[in-house]
Chains A and B, each alone.
Chain A
Amino acid sequence: MDRHPGKSDLATSVAAIVADLKHLEGPLLPILHAVQEVFGYVPEEAVPIIAADLNLSRAEVHGVVTFYHDYRHQPAGRHVLKLCRAEACQAMGADRLAEQVKIHLGIDFHETSADGAVTLEPVFCLGLCSTAPAAMLDGGVHGRLDASALDSLLAEVVA
């Protein structure tokens, strides 16, 4: 399927995604995933189109989009770094690492660096408690992080 996005043909593009996935049982989440994959986030303007197509109300779709933190309201940076802040990682010094990252990038959680290189997000458990503290960079997981391991990860993204 052709999914070349662009502001002007957002409606066409979203409608095509919905048409493609509508047959699924419980199609809303897969549709939102696909929209985010194409646009990098779930544009507000996509919600009424999805709602109308699935015969849901705008409010219902909005409720789902805002419930899941993974659905973005604006595009992320070129890289997304997620730091685990759940119990095991906190016990192994995740908070300290978070501070280090924030200082290094000059941003807080849920923010994107000014050059658009990286978005920093907290995550609650990556299932890597045995190798805490853990992080996820662009979908790849990293365990047993310490200051230097983190530095090399950061070097990769800001480069």
Chain B
Amino acid sequence: MLLVPETDFGTPASRAKTQVTLTIDGREITVPEGTSIMRASMEAGIQVPKLCATDMVDAFGSCRLCLIEIEGRNGTPASCTTPVAPGLVVHTQTARLKDIRKGVMELYISDHPLDCLTCAANGDCELQDMAGAVGLRDVRYGYDGDNHVKTRAGEGLNARWMPKDESNPYFTYDPSKCIVCSRCVRACEEVQGTFALTIEGRGFDSRVSPGQHEDFLSSECVSCGACVQACPTATLTEKSVIAIGQPEHSVVTTCAYCGVGCSFKAEMRGEELVRMVPWKDGQANRGHSCVKGRFAYGYSTHKERILNPMIREKVTDPWREVSWEEALAHTAAEFRRIQYQYGRESIGGITSSRCTNEETYLVQKLIRAGFGNNNVDTCARVCHSPTGYGLGQAFGTSAGTQNFDSVEETDVVIIIGANPTDGHPVFGSRLKKRLRQGARLIVIDPRRIDLVRSPHIEAAYHLPLRPGTNVAVATALAHVIVTEGLCDEEFIRTRCDWSEFEDWAGFVAEERHSPEATEALTGVPADDLRGAARLFATGGNGSIYYGLGVTEHSQGSTTVMAIANLAMATGNIGRPGVGVNPLRGQNNVQGSCDMGSFPHELPGYRHVSDDATRDIFEKLWGVTLSDEPGLRIPNMLDAAVDGSFKGLYIQGEDILQSDPDTKHVAAGLAAMECVVVQDLFLNETANYAHVFLPGSTFLEKDGTFTNAERRINRVRRVMTPRNGYADWEVTQNLARAMGLAWSYTHPSEIMDEIAATTPSFAKVSYAYLEEKGSVQWPCNEKAPEGSPIMHVDGFVRGKGKFIRTEYVATDEKTGPRFPLLLTTGRILSQYNVGAQTRRTENVVWHEEDRLEIHPHDAELRGIRDGDWVRLASRSGDTTLRALITDRVATGVVYTTFHHPTTQANVITTDFSDWATNCPEYKVTAVQISPSNGPSEWQTEYEDQARQSRRIIGKLEAAE
């Protein structure tokens, strides 16, 4: 195997339609207008020497190495900043150019260490390559002039020398190796959009400076690594490369964190991962990444990872390590016993949206064909189930309508209930890039997220609504659009059901939905809301991106429908730059939904009561399938508490930490007789488990993930599973132990079965994915290339459906005892319940969850920044430390849920979405008071967790 080749064209591609023909070194080449001569040369196979140019950032023209000569023009212009023109005759190698380049290289090398043999970039250094390319043989200026290289100069210290900055846990900054090409600064600005870096000083004093001459860690740097990737020398280098050495082969795979689904090259030495480098051909991320995807993979070799199966009789016993055979035989016997004793419906399973499509498909197949019931659910229940329901109702399909590239053509963006720069950072960066080009932004969020205002971007409107009033705000936006005559009537008449529209328009036009009438309720100033509605309706291509701040409410599904209404009313569906885009939380939450993880749906969102669909699977699987929808996660837990549900197979999900009302989840789990957890770590749910099956990481298996834009991306195995089996093999072995005759030898065979049974995947196969890189479903006879944009010529359901969206206040209300509203969210460096990211160096950025509270509310309660506070709701209480900030409005407090000790879900209630049971995480009435330390529940829980993690023959597993 070799490194996956990637060509650096030096400057970004031009999007112009007009073609230009010119001659470079005697070769005729035709390229789009606006292409640089450097890029055109590269496309013709001619590499012009360069240092400061790379195709991830715009041309800069500072290194003076890429000079060329053009017949009929004076001088030696830089090829990176000179655009092509018809008929140009360009020479990239002449005696004059060679002399200049050699002279320039001499200057670079006169102030650069010559420790190439011991340098971490040896073998991957563009300065070294260019010295070779220009034929540098001597440096007339010597090597020890006025330089940055040595700590001492003659007798004294060298004042120009700067020590290496090793503050960032993942990469180092060695100023002595810097050639001041500005690639890192430009990557930080143009690609990531953080503007954390600059070149300070001038002349010999020029240095890369994070913030105001600080170290990387204390600056605004978000550690996305774009600068490290852009650096042509060893100045910015991954610590893993310094420790291991240069990789010898690489494999393209897909990140296993959020729903953006970035493509990476896993660069390897043997089975050791050297580094992850975002792949430029990855269509979701276009060569960019965040700190999690690029750097936070250390959990896969963390010492707490469990590698042997374990069983125990009671959850109070310590774990006993056993063989795979014993663990699986025990599990199979227990499940059969429970079903014999309590009935077929007494067991079920939970699929994982962190695992592959193939693995998810197998788990639901095991439950439907092996357990003989439909008791299967997935974590999408607690995040985007309202998206599935709401968009299914409005458009006829349960997924986002666009690809991520679409953001490049949008003019007005509404972000509602999402925080892309933290939750979906690569999409956040792509959005910020578009905003810097002039697109306008409307943020609807109770909290002042970074997108509201940060360097070079500023939202046109921020509507800081009270948590729980999404429907009222969305309907008020519709009110303005309808009553001010801003609807796209032609779109509605041709694409939607006109009578439904008229009914809806009449409904939203009622005075009680006006911004003025709802202001008291929502807290959003009427003028701002009117301005935002006008901007969205009239500002050009309008797109809506939303997250869990929309779905995780008692009216989650209603808000999704209201969003769909807004998009249809303004004609913003069915072309690039528009659409309704749910930002999916987990890497494969889209896929796990597609694969039939819901108790009422078979793969491809087909209801279990549909005879024709059941027939397809019954014939193939040779079993009779139940036509009754099974239990949802909360129903399973209720049934367990009632004593009718006794066994659960959970693959890769930590319901105890991530599901609402922890005490209720704990009671449900405690009432079961056989809880099987398949995971990388002894997660919180495993405290109540009887069988633990060690899981494998995304680096250890083949499969596919489906991201938020419906893109099916390949996951490729780069190392042997340390636990012995990929997760699909574990499920298959469990199925076999239960008497099912499964014989898949590779995940590709599972995908073939999915394609054969599920129309929207009909054309998908591993061979096809190999050929195309990735495809977006639906991918079948009708759309052989996949579907980047949906509903182009008509809605999947036929006519778009406008649905009345009546605002019904949640039952969770503030009152004298609980006067504040708690809402929850994420932070960039941590992921979800933190099981992975807490086991990486990412903890340097976020070592604990903090409670954000407005200075006014804090002062009323005598709380100072950093104080321990007690956070109490009707469900329970916990303690954490306060962070005083005006990002949240008065009356609203906010926290993250990345750390298990915080137990934020002890606080959340069991209210849920009326249609899908998606829990209302985003609104809880709470009270805050000063506290001395952990609550009673936290202490008890800690003790119980410590007890339950004991393994016979091993030291207590530390958390």
Confirm or deny: A135 has a beta carbon within 8 angstroms of a beta carbon on chain B.
no
Neighbouring B residues of A60 by C-beta, 8 Å: 195, 198, 455
Asked if residues A62 and B220 are in contact (CB atoms below 8 Å), the reply is no
- Pick from A51, A59, A67, A69: contact of B210, CB below 8 A: A59
In the docked arrangement, what's the CA distance between A59 and B186, Å? 12
Neighbouring A residues of B205 by C-beta, 8 Å: 66
> What distance in Å separates the Cβ of B622 from its nearest Cβ neighbour in chain A?
63
Confirm or deny: A47 has a beta carbon within 8 angstroms of a beta carbon on chain B.
yes
Neighbouring A residues of B210 by C-beta, 8 Å: 59
> What distance in Å separates the Cβ of A98 from its nearest Cβ neighbour in chain B?
19
In the docked arrangement, what's the CA distance between A26 and B780, Å? 54
Confirm or deny: A56 has a beta carbon within 8 angstroms of a beta carbon on chain B.
yes
Identify which of residues 205-231 in chain B touch chain A, using a CB-to-CB cut-off of 8 Å: 205, 209-213, 219-220
Confirm or deny: B197 has a beta carbon within 8 angstroms of a beta carbon on chain A.
yes
With known contacts A47-B212, A67-B201, A67-B202, A59–B220 Cβ distance under 8 A: yes
With known contacts A55-B453, A56-B195, A57-B220, A63–B458 Cβ distance under 8 A: no
> What distance in Å separates the Cβ of A72 from its nearest Cβ neighbour in chain B?
14
With known contacts A63-B198, A66-B201, A55–B456 Cβ distance under 8 A: yes
Confirm or deny: B200 has a beta carbon within 8 angstroms of a beta carbon on chain A.
yes
Neighbouring B residues of A67 by C-beta, 8 Å: 200-202
Interface residues as binary, A50-93 with B (CB distance below 8 Å gives 1, 0 otherwise): 01000111111011001101000000000000000000000000
In the docked arrangement, what's the CA distance between A67 and B211, Å? 15
> What distance in Å separates the Cβ of A55 from its nearest Cβ neighbour in chain B?
6
Confirm or deny: B903 has a beta carbon within 8 angstroms of a beta carbon on chain A.
no
Interface residues on B, range: 20 to 34
Asked if residues A57 and B194 are in contact (CB atoms below 8 Å), the reply is yes
Neighbouring A residues of B200 by C-beta, 8 Å: 62-63, 66-67
Confirm or deny: B196 has a beta carbon within 8 angstroms of a beta carbon on chain A.
yes
Confirm or deny: A44 has a beta carbon within 8 angstroms of a beta carbon on chain B.
yes
In the docked arrangement, what's the CA distance between A59 and B455, Å? 10
Asked if residues A57 and B455 are in contact (CB atoms below 8 Å), the reply is yes
Neighbouring B residues of A59 by C-beta, 8 Å: 195-198, 209-212, 219-220
> Across the two chains, which residue of chain B brings its CB closest to A45?
B212
Confirm or deny: B460 has a beta carbon within 8 angstroms of a beta carbon on chain A.
no
In the docked arrangement, what's the CA distance between A44 and B209, Å? 14
Neighbouring B residues of A56 by C-beta, 8 Å: 195, 455-456
> What distance in Å separates the Cβ of A59 from its nearest Cβ neighbour in chain B?
4
Asked if residues A63 and B455 are in contact (CB atoms below 8 Å), the reply is no
Q: Which of B453, B454, B455, B457 has the most CB of A within 10 A?
A: B455
Asked if residues A63 and B456 are in contact (CB atoms below 8 Å), the reply is no
Confirm or deny: B199 has a beta carbon within 8 angstroms of a beta carbon on chain A.
yes
Interface residues as binary, B211-255 with A (CB distance below 8 Å gives 1, 0 otherwise): 111000001100000000000000000000000000000000000
Neighbouring A residues of B457 by C-beta, 8 Å: 55
Identify which of residues 159-203 in chain B touch chain A, using a CB-to-CB cut-off of 8 Å: 194-202
Neighbouring A residues of B454 by C-beta, 8 Å: 55
Neighbouring A residues of B197 by C-beta, 8 Å: 59
With known contacts A56-B195, A57-B195, A57-B455, A62–B209 Cβ distance under 8 A: yes
In the docked arrangement, what's the CA distance between A145 and B209, Å? 40
Neighbouring B residues of A51 by C-beta, 8 Å: 455
> What distance in Å separates the Cβ of A79 from its nearest Cβ neighbour in chain B?
25
Asked if residues A63 and B209 are in contact (CB atoms below 8 Å), the reply is yes
In the docked arrangement, what's the CA distance between A44 and B200, Å? 14
Neighbouring A residues of B220 by C-beta, 8 Å: 57-59
Asked if residues A57 and B458 are in contact (CB atoms below 8 Å), the reply is no
> What distance in Å separates the Cβ of B181 from its nearest Cβ neighbour in chain A?
15
Asked if residues A62 and B211 are in contact (CB atoms below 8 Å), the reply is yes
> What distance in Å separates the Cβ of B160 from its nearest Cβ neighbour in chain A?
14
> Across the two chains, which residue of chain B brings its CB closest to A69?
B202
In the docked arrangement, what's the CA distance between A66 and B197, Å? 13
In the docked arrangement, what's the CA distance between A51 and B198, Å? 13
> What distance in Å separates the Cβ of B116 from its nearest Cβ neighbour in chain A?
30
Neighbouring A residues of B458 by C-beta, 8 Å: 55
In the docked arrangement, what's the CA distance between A144 and B16, Å? 59
> What distance in Å separates the Cβ of B182 from its nearest Cβ neighbour in chain A?
10
> What distance in Å separates the Cβ of A86 from its nearest Cβ neighbour in chain B?
15
B contact set with A: CB distance below 8 Å: 194-202, 205, 209-213, 219-220, 453-458
Q: Which 3 A-B pairs have the closest CB atoms?
A: A63-B198, A57-B195, A59-B198
Contacts A55-B455, A59-B196 known; list 20 others, CB within 8 Å. A47-B212, A51-B455, A55-B453, A55-B456, A56-B456, A57-B198, A57-B455, A58-B212, A59-B212, A59-B219, A62-B198, A62-B200, A62-B209, A62-B213, A63-B199, A66-B200, A66-B205, A66-B213, A67-B200, A67-B201
A-B contact pairs, 23 of them (CB 8 A): A44-B212, A47-B212, A51-B455, A55-B453, A56-B455, A57-B196, A58-B211, A58-B220, A59-B196, A59-B197, A59-B198, A60-B195, A62-B200, A62-B209, A62-B213, A63-B198, A63-B199, A63-B200, A63-B209, A66-B201, A67-B200, A67-B202, A69-B202
